[in-house]
């Protein structure tokens, strides 16, 4: 009988195969789940020193009365990248864009971020936060969020 890591019982090989299949399934679902976001009907919102902002006009949802859900995409300028790297660390020096899913209460003029994904210029995931605690915040006048609110809640 051979001994060693690769010659353990069949149960270990089955467990390893199950783990591999689970990883492949998760990666596949992630890619297909974001296919809609990447192929979305992005509309230009604004451009500033931080970068260019777009929203998915075709993907706006209505999860409940007065609430809309919408993706926001930020493609960063070098200044925006430098600011994020100073705030969050060296890995952000390769930041390319951020995707955020927002819920906006059009009646109360409040919003919250549901999930956020920071992507590198090469497409790697720098940071992914999902199922965030819904912290509704007032939308202050003159902010990017206020501009986003005006477009999304029209």
Give CA–CA dist 112/102, Å, rounded: 6
Q: Which domain holds residue 99?
A: 41-152
Of 150, 145, 66, residue with least CA distance to 108: 66
The H-assigned helical ranges of 5-98 are 10-38, 78-88
Place of tokens 């390769």: 94
- pLDDT value for 39: 53
What's the pLDDT tens digit per position in 85-106?
Answer: 999 999 999 999 999 999 999 9
Do 75 and 145 reside in the same domain of the chain?
yes
140: tokens are 């202050």
Residues 52 and 27 in one domain: no
Whole-number pLDDT of residue 140: 95
pTM of structure: 0.71
pLDDT digits (tens, 9 = 90+) for 30-58: 444 443 444 568 999 999 999 999 999 99
Read off the CATH number of the domain in which 105 is found: 2.40.128.710
Torsion (CA) 30, 114, 59, 27 in degrees, nearest 10:
0
């Amino acid at each position: 009988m051979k001994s060693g890591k690769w010659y353990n019982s069949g149960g270990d090989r089955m467990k390893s195969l199950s783990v591999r299949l689970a990883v492949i399934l998760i990666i596949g679902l992630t890619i297909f789940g974001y296919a809609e976001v990447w192929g979305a009907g992005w509309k230009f919102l604004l451009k500033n020193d931080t970068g260019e902002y777009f929203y998915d006009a075709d993907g706006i949802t209505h999860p409940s009365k007065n609430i809309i859900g919408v993706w926001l995409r930020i493609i960063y300028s070098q200044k925006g990248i430098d600011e994020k790297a100073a705030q969050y660390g060296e890995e952000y020096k390769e930041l390319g864009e951020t995707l955020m899913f927002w819920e906006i209460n059009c009646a109360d003029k409040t919003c919250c971020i549901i999930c956020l994904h920071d992507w590198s210029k090469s497409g790697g995931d720098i940071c992914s936060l999902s199922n965030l605690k819904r912290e509704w915040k007032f939308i202050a006048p003159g902010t990017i969020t206020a501009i986003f609110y005006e477009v999304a809640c029209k």
